[in-house]
Amino acid sequence: MNKKPLGNSALMLPPIMFGGNVFGWTADPVTSFRLLDALLDAGLNAIDTADAYSRWVPAHAGGESEAIIGVWLKQRGGRDKVVIASKCGLDMGPIKGQGLSKAHIVSAVEDSLVRLQTDYIDLYQAHRDDEATPLEETLEAFAQLVQQGKARVIGASNYSASRLAQALEVSRKLGLPRFESLQPLYNLAKRDAFEGELEQLCLSQNIGVINYYSLAAGFLTGKYRPDSDLSKIQRSAAVQRYANPQGFAVVAALHAQAERLNATPAQLAIAWLIARPSITAPIASATSLEQLDELVQATRLQLDSEAIEALDSAGR
């Protein structure tokens, strides 16, 4: 299975990265272990998580996803065969705090390392920009983690083009490790936030891109059509944003091309992302082995020019 380097680093990623936000939330520990075992057996060894996963669940404090991954890593072994990406910076409550100050980053990584039961994190990312903290302080803190061997590579998530460019310039001027990756919201039904200035910056500076919401919160899996019961869609705020004429045009194109290529809409939506020159590895999650198989099959699907042109046109 072909792998791509993350930016200018030596870190290699498979065609997709598994979204670990489901662990401890919509996938219990037993299911999570089965998914992780099957993921590795399929040759897909990259997992995305964060300290804030899944703090949004009642009675959760955050770190549940990392803790499940840590137990699995301890039981399965082979840490060097797995790529773990985690993030810090979101609100972790009144005691732990939030942001990208040096104090918070240094404290957050220690907590993540304990939960993950590992000595290092392959890709450690700023979960969200923190304009209240100077970029110099944030990048110097990340540089310390790299120097100590606690993070192999650093990255940014949810940064604008201007702020990412500023961060890259600060790293260049101070001789610090730079953000080698960006994690933006990007999928076939939501393209404007990434395509344009942000995408061009990543291409010109060789920044790896591991986009999230690759299946638009399930909207691109094929279960929603223009004649679907919109009252059910409207109960899901994450899906509702895509339930518009453009979104349904994308769904129609996915169904048409899936039928032509003997595939599924979900497989095509992921394969389209994999084929994008700017994308290193889209993030996608699954809560069952059947859903995971969809992701695996997507990595083996080669889209022809007709499919790419049809999906490109529908998504604009």
Task: Using the predicted structure, report yes or no on whether residue 254 has a pLDDT greater than 90.
Answer: yes
**Residue 245 confidence (pLDDT):** 87
Determine the average pLDDT of the residues in 232-253: 80
Global pTM value: 0.95
b/e sequence 157-193, b meaning 16+ C-beta within 10 Å: bbbebeebbebbebbeeeebbbbbbbbbebbbbbbee
**Residue 194 confidence (pLDDT):** 97
How many distinct structural domains can be found in the chain?
Answer: 1
User: Is residue 121 in a domain?
Assistant: yes
**Residue 240 confidence (pLDDT):** 78
Which residues are CB-neighbours of 185 under 8 A, at least 6 positions away? 158, 193, 194, 211, 212, 213
Task: Using the predicted structure, report yes or no on whether residue 60 has a pLDDT greater than 70.
Answer: yes
Q: What residues pair up with 17 in beta bridges, in sequence order?
A: 283
**How do the residues of the chain divide into helix, strand and coil, expressed in percent and rounded to 5?**
50, 15, 40
The Cα–Cα gap between 192 and 185 comes to 10
Which residue type occupies 172? R
Task: Using the predicted structure, report yes or no on whether residue 230 has a pLDDT greater than 90.
Answer: no
**Residue 233 confidence (pLDDT):** 58
Q: Which domain holds residue 100?
A: 4-183
User: Is residue 171 in a domain?
Assistant: yes
User: Is residue 155 in a domain?
Assistant: yes
**Residue 27 confidence (pLDDT):** 96
User: Is residue 41 in a domain?
Assistant: yes
Which residue type occupies 235? R
**Residue 228 confidence (pLDDT):** 64
Tens digit of pLDDT for each residue in 61-119? Answer: 999 999 999 999 999 999 999 999 999 999 999 999 999 999 999 999 999 999 999 99
**Residue 2 confidence (pLDDT):** 83
User: Is residue 174 in a domain?
Assistant: yes
User: Is residue 255 in a domain?
Assistant: no
Which residues are CB-neighbours of 48 under 8 A, at least 6 positions away? 17, 18, 19, 20, 21, 85, 86, 183, 210, 212, 283
User: Is residue 86 in a domain?
Assistant: yes
**Residue 78 confidence (pLDDT):** 93
User: Is residue 301 in a domain?
Assistant: no
**Residue 130 confidence (pLDDT):** 98
Tens digit of pLDDT for each residue in 167-225? Answer: 999 999 999 999 999 999 999 999 999 999 999 999 999 999 999 999 999 999 988 87
Task: Using the predicted structure, report yes or no on whether residue 121 has a pLDDT greater than 70.
Answer: yes
Question: Is 53 one of the annotated active-site residues of the chain?
Answer: yes
**Residue 274 confidence (pLDDT):** 97
**Residue 235 confidence (pLDDT):** 54
Task: Using the predicted structure, report yes or no on whether residue 234 has a pLDDT greater than 60.
Answer: no
Q: Which of the following is catalytic: 53, 186, 212, 213?
A: 53
Q: What is the CATH number of the domain that holds 130?
A: 3.20.20.100
Tens digit of pLDDT for each residue in 255-304? Answer: 999 999 999 999 999 999 999 999 999 999 999 999 999 999 999 999 99
**Residue 232 confidence (pLDDT):** 60
**Residue 241 confidence (pLDDT):** 84
User: By C-alpha distance, which of 39, 37, 67 is closest to 52?
Assistant: 67
Structure tokens at 230: 């919109």
What's the mean pLDDT when you consider all of the chain? 94
User: By C-alpha distance, which of 149, 143, 148 is closest to 170?
Assistant: 143
**Residue 225 confidence (pLDDT):** 75
